[in-house]
Amino acid sequence: MLIVMDHRATKEQVDQIIAAVERMGLTAEPIPGSLRTAIGVLGNQGYVDDSTIRTLPGVRETIHVSKPYKMASRDFHPTASVIDIAGVKFGDGERPVIIAGPCSIETEEQMLAAAEQVKQGGGRMLRGGAFKPRTGPHSFQGLGIQGLKLLQQAGQAQNLPVVTEVMRIEQLDDVCKYADMLQIGARNMQNFDLLKEVGKTRHPVLLKRGMSATIEEFLAAAEYILAEGNPNIVLCERGIRTFEKTTRNTLDLSVVPLVRELSHLPIIVDPSHATGKRMLVPIMSKAALVAGAHGIMMEVHPNPALALCDGAQSLSGADFAELMGELNRLLEFLGYQG
Amino acid sequence: MLIVMDHRATKEQVDQIIAAVERMGLTAEPIPGSLRTAIGVLGNQGYVDDSTIRTLPGVRETIHVSKPYKMASRDFHPTASVIDIAGVKFGDGERPVIIAGPCSIETEEQMLAAAEQVKQGGGRMLRGGAFKPRTGPHSFQGLGIQGLKLLQQAGQAQNLPVVTEVMRIEQLDDVCKYADMLQIGARNMQNFDLLKEVGKTRHPVLLKRGMSATIEEFLAAAEYILAEGNPNIVLCERGIRTFEKTTRNTLDLSVVPLVRELSHLPIIVDPSHATGKRMLVPIMSKAALVAGAHGIMMEVHPNPALALCDGAQSLSGADFAELMGELNRLLEFLGYQG
Amino acid sequence: MLIVMDHRATKEQVDQIIAAVERMGLTAEPIPGSLRTAIGVLGNQGYVDDSTIRTLPGVRETIHVSKPYKMASRDFHPTASVIDIAGVKFGDGERPVIIAGPCSIETEEQMLAAAEQVKQGGGRMLRGGAFKPRTGPHSFQGLGIQGLKLLQQAGQAQNLPVVTEVMRIEQLDDVCKYADMLQIGARNMQNFDLLKEVGKTRHPVLLKRGMSATIEEFLAAAEYILAEGNPNIVLCERGIRTFEKTTRNTLDLSVVPLVRELSHLPIIVDPSHATGKRMLVPIMSKAALVAGAHGIMMEVHPNPALALCDGAQSLSGADFAELMGELNRLLEFLGYQG
Amino acid sequence: MLIVMDHRATKEQVDQIIAAVERMGLTAEPIPGSLRTAIGVLGNQGYVDDSTIRTLPGVRETIHVSKPYKMASRDFHPTASVIDIAGVKFGDGERPVIIAGPCSIETEEQMLAAAEQVKQGGGRMLRGGAFKPRTGPHSFQGLGIQGLKLLQQAGQAQNLPVVTEVMRIEQLDDVCKYADMLQIGARNMQNFDLLKEVGKTRHPVLLKRGMSATIEEFLAAAEYILAEGNPNIVLCERGIRTFEKTTRNTLDLSVVPLVRELSHLPIIVDPSHATGKRMLVPIMSKAALVAGAHGIMMEVHPNPALALCDGAQSLSGADFAELMGELNRLLEFLGYQG
């Protein structure tokens, strides 16, 4: 950490800061400049809590050099992690995984049809929501446990591992029972208690980036899960909130190579939620793979026009099959064997 | 809802949309324009789920006229709500309430001293965090139940109702037992399951705006609580996330008169978290009162330089007393009796 | 400046950085930490151009301590500036100035009526646009030189100094001839050539914050004008672009006390453009004065419903007179003599 | 346009709106709903100026269906435009063009070396800045006319058309004389007078998206140039400003397919400025091509570590040659002949 003093700070104020740093068990190194003094803080093993320092007289600002995550960092874990979900692997060197399925689980027929389309197209995991986060309480909220069973049944019918969102701690046991992978949604990325409980399970987890989360906060959220002992995390970029409203969110593809540099955890992309527009899903899926994504999650529905949720961003089975052909050709070009 | 057709849309496509709207039990009114056709949707009693419509061929976009909240709206509840927390009232016509106290509950001495300072200064409620949301897992996470007890004890010693954050559903019983008012933090504004459970309690709740929540989403979050039967909601603006980083967040004061126009629920302002800078708290508190806030929540700590969390934005007891004198003069000017 | 090295950086890389810093005529001070080395850069008289340093092997990031402005800073100019426009003064200790008038200059009658209303209400400067920045080319673009003459005439009729926007360098002579103060609009805040030419004139200038400009960029834009020798600058906050769309922009009132701390230049607030809603102008004007604004600029039109531009945010003459009564009472409360 | 009335609006208010719309020469179609009335506005040939309507009593909001651009729209110009710059073509069906060169023109040697590297690598246009927009006035501002001559000389030596930024109207003649294509920088995207003058020249122009410009504003800026008679426009996405600061800006790749849908103008991507990080340029260039970009503009410098500006995002000649090999293989995969 660097502590920048006001240019009017007195020597006494500088000495007071040095003493405060030393009380924290750290070392302070003053760096006198022509305009102001800065004080380097040394000896910390990670992020320094600067809240007491920032309040002392003469301090202009504090600048963090360490990050609020450590176990999620490449610095401490140089080897890329490969996460295995019932034989489907996410990570460097592994063929990117296509996860597909409807936004909401609606009926047995829908799920069996969706699973068949996903399998036929070459998808390797099945998704579907049983518990749905919706902006207002008057929208369809999902089928709950009954939905989990339908999801599991459809996945087993096609031998596809399944992933579904968990929204509250009490649902964890059921979701772990029926699903191969838990999803933490964007709105819960900083629901720290949920993260901790998921961290205690060791169940594979798909952690979506919050809609206004920085990369630093995203990796710090993963750190909550890692710190409880669960290393089985796949990250997911799903668009961030910006001033631009033509797309539902702004897909931040640069985060893919950045996360791969900063962290050892795999990262996939969800172009359906990021853009909110069906016509953008195929092209942004390809861009995401080229950017280095370890997988793509997209919405596929047997009949998008009848979907109870987010039909506008869902592909039909035929659309999906066509897209998968294109993605497979792209993956071959990128060096992955068929 | 208005459905805007592509300018190349055929008559068949328009007819198909009309049929789809009618299948939803609503009425469709085509509005042919010189460039494109729009279709008005009539007969809905609230927000229309447009996900199936948006997917149909020929549709360019759908535009919502209704909002995803209804019970939180002035349209349906023209009279302003006054929320009573153990005799302290928030709402139109009531003297704005100053809530103060430390960010984190740390020790008995700290809480008793803080409560005394709050009472002496003229604060009417005591705040303090027992469960703390922190970006990374390696920061201080709060004292938990023990903290709740210290908070209650300090509040009782000074006859101040207390408010504290609840982060997970399992904590609800305890927080209801020890605190007069629950706080839903910004990171949990769309933790819908928590909102629902809080809605079932009837316990007064302070709902903070999410850091990237629109006003519409903010009121829709309140709707979750209202829909479960709990009308005792006070909203809280605490800054939104923008590109500007000189302040921790950007305090959006315009939201105060806007919410008072759109909703019957009271709204207060938290300038400590909004700005992250102690020097801005007094002046922005005054601006918030002038903007029509029904209260202010701010951080006061007996010794800000030793605070375990957010010391940089906490006022000392002496600062608080001085500020309260100024706020009281301002309130008198605004027409509130001392 | 602080240079943060990668934790894998070698001693040779650190030495290479030190040599590079010294080639820039500056001093490098290595600060070895437990995880990584940082290098303090000393001896610079202002902002350091880090572009060559950032590219060297082993560098993780560079952190600026100095700001890209100096003449605009309180550090170098501790005394608050008071800017005098034909006897109307902006700055610390001066009664805040209300600038009012229509968005666009339309006709002689309109301007004479507006000026009379402004004068009657107690406004001290008259505004009106002769050159209008409009998002699309098919909207009304302003009356040009003819408008400038109408503005001057109306100002002289009521003995009010006038301010109007200049959009291109060729207009500068005319605008200086007819107007007492130039306005640089938000879209031109980083039109650096225009800033430089305005800097050469010594004519008073109202510099509006760009819609996505940081405070640092805002003050650096003022620095362009100051660096050419023109000290007569009044800053203007007019809202920033965020995800929230209920208001046209998000009024960032915290910028007022912050700019007063960081700079010696006066700052006013434009609630009309910031919110885009007439109903918010009165209340946000009051909040701005309480936040310390040295003035308010607002839109007043003899007949808002017939305004050719931005009628939705204009007050009528009667609205303005009523608001001025309220603002005067507030100013009296704040300690300004009538 | 749709006019949404307040739910308390009276029949008289609705009638007043209808009359106002008809005074504008348009047709009003009331759509009574169960909660409120909406009024469709018909007969407009483009964007409706709603400023007078929005102010009338009983109006809650106005919703635009038409866009503030027309000539830039696919609706009115269904065929994709191909823009030819001295034989280098941008547009559908044309091989994407790589534009490369240094951020700033510094010396004759630098430019000749850069041009040679660009040509050798397979770049088809040369870029370089003679007039530089810099946040603060104390940074290097470019060589001016002398730089233009060095750019032209270097381009001619390698038979590469050249593009350079124009910052003020007085520079237009010179820039047109020495450069094959003008660039309008992000900060000037809404410098409407500059757009108009560029529109009068017919010289090819590269229009960069403003850092907080919506897609609608971006296309409306192009409309300014088109409306003056210059159809030779290539758009350029260069990142938008968001809360995320790990990258300099957030590259919004979804804008590429969206612009290709909404407009007939070609669009290229500048990953150097979008990300600000050299390591991200290669991978985001590939993602941009896959997303459908008609070209890529990137910074190449013979010696990035000595660059006077933006060295951190420049590739060396060797980096560029390697990247071009990869891009050529990708373009072949995408169906472009070598």
Which one is predicted more confidently, C66 or B205?
Answer: B205
Residue B1 has pLDDT above 80, yes or no: no
Which one is predicted more confidently, D37 or A179?
Answer: A179
Which of residues 72 through 131 in chain B touch A, CB cutoff 8 A? none
d(CA B203, CA B179): 9
Beta pairing partners, C163: C127, C181
Confidence bin at C58 (pLDDT 50/70/90): confident
Distance to chain D for C153, nearest Cα, Å: 26
* Chains in touch with D (≥3 Cβ pairs < 8 A): A, B, C
Q: B169 CB near a chain A CB, below 8 Å?
A: yes
Best residue in C21, C189, C190, C215 for a mutation probing chain D (most D CBs within 10 Å): C190
Task: For B18-67, write each residue's pLDDT tens digit.
Answer: 888 888 888 888 877 667 788 878 777 666 777 778 778 888 778 777 77
pLDDT at C47: 67
Residue A286 has pLDDT above 90, yes or no: yes
What sign results for the dihedral spanned by CA atoms B173, B179, B180, B181?
A: negative
Strands of the sheet with C27-32, listed across from one edge? C27-32, C37-42, C2-5, C59-63
The residue extents of the domains of chain D are 2-63, 83-333
| Side-chain-side CA neighbours of residue D311 (13 Å) | 17
Note the pTM of the prediction, 2 decimals: 0.91
Q: Between chains, do B223 and A56 touch, taking CB under 8 Å as contact? A: no
Q: D207 CB near a chain C CB, below 8 Å?
A: no
pLDDT at C57: 82
Give the residue carrying structure tokens 């700290």: B110
- Phi, psi for B125 (deg, rounded to 5): -140, 155
In the 8-state DSSP scheme, what is residue A190? Answer: T
- Identity of the residue in C34, C65, C242 whose CB atom sits nearest the CB atom of A38: C65
Best residue in C5, C31, C241 for a mutation probing chain A (most A CBs within 10 Å): C31
Chain B residues near residue C292 by CB distance under 8 angstroms: 283
pLDDT at D6: 81
Q: What is the mean pLDDT of residues C148-176?
A: 96
Of residues A5, C257, C215, the one with CA closest to residue B281: C257
- Identity of the residue in C31, C34, C75 whose CB atom sits nearest the CB atom of A40: C31
Q: A24 CB near a chain B CB, below 8 Å?
A: no
Beta pairing partners, C41: C28
Please tell me the class of the C83-333 domain: alpha beta
d(CA D93, CA D84): 13
C131 neighbors C143 (Cβ within 8 angstroms) = no
Chain D residues near residue B77 by CB distance under 8 angstroms: none
pLDDT at A255: 97
Q: What is the mean pLDDT of residues A238-252?
A: 94
A67 neighbors A60 (Cβ within 8 angstroms) = no
d(CA A16, CA A39): 12
d(CA D295, CA B65): 40
Do strands A83-85 and D267-269 pair parallel, antiparallel, or not at all (unpaired)?
unpaired
* Other Cβ atoms closer than 10 A to B268: 23
Of residues B226, D275, B246, B212, the one with CA closest to residue A189: B212
Nearest CA in chain B to A278: B55
Which of residues 292 through 321 in chain A touch D, CB cutoff 8 A? 292
Chain B residues near residue C254 by CB distance under 8 angstroms: 247, 250-251, 274-275, 280, 284
Distance of CA B205 to the CA centre of its chain: 9
Residue C268 has pLDDT above 90, yes or no: yes
pLDDT at D46: 66
Residue A59 has pLDDT above 70, yes or no: yes
Do strands B181-184 and A83-85 pair parallel, antiparallel, or not at all (unpaired)?
unpaired
In the 8-state DSSP scheme, what is residue A141? Answer: -
Confidence bin at B148 (pLDDT 50/70/90): very high
Q: Between chains, do A254 and D240 touch, taking CB under 8 Å as contact? A: no
| Alpha helices, DSSP H, located in chain A | 11-23, 108-121, 145-158, 172-178, 192-201, 215-227, 255-262, 271-275, 281-290, 317-333
pLDDT at C242: 96
Q: A216 CB near a chain D CB, below 8 Å?
A: yes
d(CA A65, CA D142): 33
Nearest CA in chain C to B212: C243
Please classify residue B164 by burial: count the beta carbons closer than 10 Å to its beta carbon, then call 0-12 exposed, 13-18 middle and 19+ buried.
Answer: buried
The rounded mean pLDDT for chain C is 90
Residue B235 has pLDDT above 90, yes or no: yes
Right CATH number for B2-63 from 2.60.120.10, 2.60.450.10, 3.30.70.1140, 3.40.640.10? 3.30.70.1140
pLDDT at A39: 84
Collapsing DSSP to helix, strand or coil, A259 comes out as: helix
- Block means of pLDDT (10 residues each) for chain D, length 338 residues? 82 89 83 75 71 78 78 89 97 97 93 96 96 78 91 98 95 96 96 94 97 95 95 98 93 97 97 91 97 96 73 84 96 90
Q: Between chains, do B40 and D35 touch, taking CB under 8 Å as contact? A: no
Q: Between chains, do D51 and C311 touch, taking CB under 8 Å as contact? A: yes
Q: C333 CB near a chain D CB, below 8 Å?
A: no
Chain D residues near residue A328 by CB distance under 8 angstroms: none
C-alpha pair distances (Å), A268 with each of A28, A171, A176, A293: 41, 24, 21, 5
Q: Between chains, do D33 and B44 touch, taking CB under 8 Å as contact? A: yes
Of residues C292, C108, C211, the one with CA closest to residue B243: C211
Q: Between chains, do B34 and D44 touch, taking CB under 8 Å as contact? A: yes
d(CA C164, CA C175): 7
| Alpha helices, DSSP H, located in D92-133 | 108-121
C58 neighbors C90 (Cβ within 8 angstroms) = no
In the 8-state DSSP scheme, what is residue D335? Answer: T
pLDDT at B301: 86
Confidence bin at A137 (pLDDT 50/70/90): confident
Beta pairing partners, A129: A104
B228 neighbors B200 (Cβ within 8 angstroms) = yes
What sign results for the dihedral spanned by CA atoms D118, D121, D125, D129?
A: negative
Over pLDDT 90: what percentage of chain B? 66
Q: What is the mean pLDDT of residues C26-39?
A: 77
Give me Rg for the CA atoms of chain A: 23
pLDDT at D187: 93
D92 neighbors D82 (Cβ within 8 angstroms) = yes
- Token pair of D238, please? 């260069």
pLDDT at B338: 63
d(CA A112, CA A120): 12
Q: Between chains, do C290 and B330 touch, taking CB under 8 Å as contact? A: yes
The rounded mean pLDDT for chain A is 90
Q: What is the mean pLDDT of residues A73-90?
A: 93
Residue C43 has pLDDT above 80, yes or no: no
